Amino acid sequence: MPQRKIAVIGVANAYGAGDPACQDGPEILRRFEFLDDLAPADGTSQWDETLRPSHESAAGPLPALSDMTRRLATAVRGHLAAGNFPLVIGGDHSCAIGTWSGVHAHLESRGPGARLGLIWIDAHMDSHAVYSGSSQNIHDMPLACLLGHGAPQLSGIADAAPTLRPQDVCLIGVRSFEWREAALLLTLGVRIYYMQEVHERGMSAVLQEARRHVCRETAGYGISIDLDALDPLEEPGVGTPVPDGLLRAELIQALAPLRGDTRLQALEVVEYNPDQDPNFTTAQAVHDLCCSLLEPALA
């Protein structure tokens, strides 16, 4: 099988978050040189580009975010078409709208009606439909947008139909949410593995089951990791820490069997907040998680 280049796309954006610090995450991680360990011996891994939003206008962050997610979707789709494996490094989680729209557009271009599965690892649900929650931050909404229930400027950016079908999505690690987003996901029938179930069954068993779930009727799947899924006692470098999260070691162990999985289309790791990470502890977690899933996979 030909080698696939890992193409890293940084998204230096925090317009969707309450705290601007995560916009600096990609640059810190790039300098952390974690790619050195991702690259196979022939060096088929590179930091391709870092996208930045245009300046926020008087109309608020939506126009800039809409533009940036479209550029990201185009970049991701281009890499997949070229045979590369996109690794998207946020920035806040609003970039997911662009990442997964781009992956879905690629799958659709190869087979009309092709569906995308997605495993969303996060302490939160990120499923506020616009104006439904107490938070008005766009990074609380990306999954709702991808399911066709968010801001019209952000939903359906690659095509008119929703990017994701509810039955093709799983959330893992959830432990902080509002009833309106839970009601939306429950109504839609999205499978949610709350943290309690992860504790009871173990992350490896849960992730394997989630993979089967999102692969049932889809042409491929992706993984979106919000670093706040991890336990803040271990990983302080996030914007919205929530106690009682995943341990780094158990997530690494769970991801490792997915190395080389040809159904896996892309990986996204978001919400790294360098201001909260003076010792680069969480930067190391990003490194370890990416290596766990990708290091030998494409070599």
Q: Where do contacts with Mn ion occur on this chain (CB under 5 A)?
A: 93, 122, 126, 226
Burial category of 125 from C-beta neighbours within 10 Å (exposed 0-12, middle 13-18, buried 19 and up): buried
Nearer to Mn ion, 48 or 122 (CB): 122
Give the CB-side neighbour count of residue 280, counting CA atoms within 13 A. Answer: 10
**126 catalytic per annotation:** yes
- Residue from 126, 140, 181, 277 carrying the catalytic annotation: 126
Nearer to Mn ion, 7 or 125 (CB): 125
In degrees, to the nearest 5, what angle opens at C-alpha 65 toward C-alphas 68 and 281? 85
- Residue from 92, 181, 228, 277 carrying the catalytic annotation: 228
Q: How far is CA 219 from CA 106, 180, 255, in A?
A: 10, 30, 20
Instruction: Give the N- to C-terminal CA distance of the chain in Å, as an integer.
Output: 10
Minimum CB distance to Mn ion, residue 126 (Å): 4
Q: Which two tokens stand for residue 77?
A: 């789709």
Alpha-carbon distance 285 to 290, whole Å? 8
**79 catalytic per annotation:** no
- Residue from 108, 235, 268, 271 carrying the catalytic annotation: 271
Minimum CB distance to Mn ion, residue 175 (Å): 12
Nearer to Mn ion, 93 or 149 (CB): 93
**124 catalytic per annotation:** yes
Q: Computed from CA positions of residues 132, 73, 68, 117, in that sequence, does the dihedral angle turn out positive or negative?
A: positive
Minimum CB distance to Mn ion, residue 92 (Å): 8
Minimum CB distance to Mn ion, residue 2 (Å): 34
- Residue from 106, 124, 149, 213 carrying the catalytic annotation: 124
Q: List, by residue number, the catalytic residues.
A: 93, 122, 124, 126, 139, 226, 228, 271
